[in-house]
Structure formats: structure tokens, C-alpha cells
Structure 1
Amino acid sequence: MTYQDIAPARLSTLGPDVRRIDVREPDEYTGPLGHLPDAELVPLGTLEAASADWPRDAPLLLICRSGGRSARAAQALAQRGFQRLYNLAGGMLAVRESPPGSTGG
């Protein structure tokens, strides 16, 4: 595997050197689910250009709504030579634990 899934409960085990990259759109970042402290907004469509100058050995945590886009982002970065990638499993939905009975898309 080119990246490692991290459950929300394990976020605290990531050191302060892990850069948090939120690949959602701006309205999602500022929306009801909010975002993780210190997360940087880098929408998925801009990730390739934005990451061009990032160090390939720096640890990155990829974040999205449900874990799908961040997994794609992690795969794309791995193909570009990034070596220390983490995907937030379940995304911000898992972090916030949506109320029982609510439906998500």
C-alpha cells in the first residue's frame, strides 16, 4: 500500500511534524463538519500544482468528508514520490460522528 489509513481516534498519535492537508472544497472546509486544527485547505483539483514544491519525505495527513477523496489524493501523491502518507479513515464524518439516523451522501 502506498499510504496508511489512520482512524480518528489515532490522530493524537501523529506527531506535530505531520502536515494536515484537507482536500475538500472551500464551502465544505468552512461548513457544518468544520476542519481539523491546523489543517490546510488544498482542494483536490489543485493538489497536483500545490504539492509540486513540497518535500517528498515530509509526512502528510490527507483529509476529506468521508475518506474517499483523501484516499485518491494519497494515491496520487504516492505516484509523485511522496513517501509518508496518511489517510484519515472515514474523513470528517468519522471525526464528528454524525448523529444517529442522519443520512450522508
Structure 2
Amino acid sequence: MPKQIDIAAFAEAYAAGAPVVDVREPYEYEQAHLPGAKLIPLAEIPARATEIDPDTTTYVLCAAGIRSLRAVEALEAAGYDVVNVEGGMNEWAAEGRPYEQGPVQG
């Protein structure tokens, strides 16, 4: 079973500098994203998985936790240390936690 974490525990890991991969689409990312989150849309995970450090625990999120769960399942099967963020950006924003808006940088 894929590893999962709730928003409160994820917030602590994120504050400590844990890497985050956002698997939503670019238009969703532009509407609201975590500073420093790397955008890799779910459909691009197989081709871009090498952009994720396999030796570091990486947190994966989407809007609500469904797409990120699929990404975590695929990445775990490939040997990555990844954790699904339950509730995703929807829950993060609903709790009033900070986020940015705007296009993907870099």
C-alpha cells in the first residue's frame, strides 16, 4: 500500500524543506501551488521520473489526492521513496495555508 500523509504532517515536512512534486496540470498549478513544488503532470511521470531523487523522500500532491496516489503507486513500483499527500492543494488552501499563484518558473 502506498505511503500517505495528512496535511498537518505534510505541512511540517514541507516547512523542513522536503521536496514536493505537483502532478496537476499547468493551469491548475498557475491557480495555486506551493512555492518550490516541481510540476510534473501525472501523464508525464513515466518520462520525467528521473527528475525525482530516488534517495530522498519526496511528497507528491495534486488537487485532492487521487492523481497523486496514482503517481505514488507508479513511482514506488519503480523504486522511488514517495509519499502521497492526502487532501492535496484543495485541503491545503481550505485550511488557509499559504500558496502562490502564477506560471511555472524555469
Please give the range of the TM-score, normalised by the shorter of the 2 chains: 0.7 to 0.9
How far the C-alpha of 1:9 sits from its partner, in A, is 1.5
Higher Cα Rg: structure 1 or 2? 1
> 4+ residue stretches of structure 1 with deviation over 4 A?
none
How far the C-alpha of 1:80 sits from its partner, in A, is 0.5
- What secondary structure sits across from 2:20 in the alignment? strand
Cross-structure match for 2:9? 10
Normalising to structure 2: TM-score of the pair?
Answer: 0.79
Aligned residues: 93
Gaps of 5+ in 2: 96-106
Q: Identity percentage over the alignment?
A: 34
- What secondary structure sits across from 1:86 in the alignment? strand
Q: Deviations over 1:10-38 (max 9, x none)?
A: 2232132x21000000000012xx01121
Gaps of 5+ in 1: 99-105
Counterpart pick for 2:47 among 23, 39, 49: 49
Cross-structure match for 1:77? 75
Cross-structure match for 2:89? 92
Cross-structure match for 1:36? 34
How far the C-alpha of 1:52 sits from its partner, in A, is 2.8
- What secondary structure sits across from 2:91 in the alignment? helix
Distance, in Å, in 1 between the alignment partners of 2:8 and 2:44 is: 28
How far the C-alpha of 1:39 sits from its partner, in A, is 0.4
Normalising to structure 1: TM-score of the pair?
Answer: 0.79
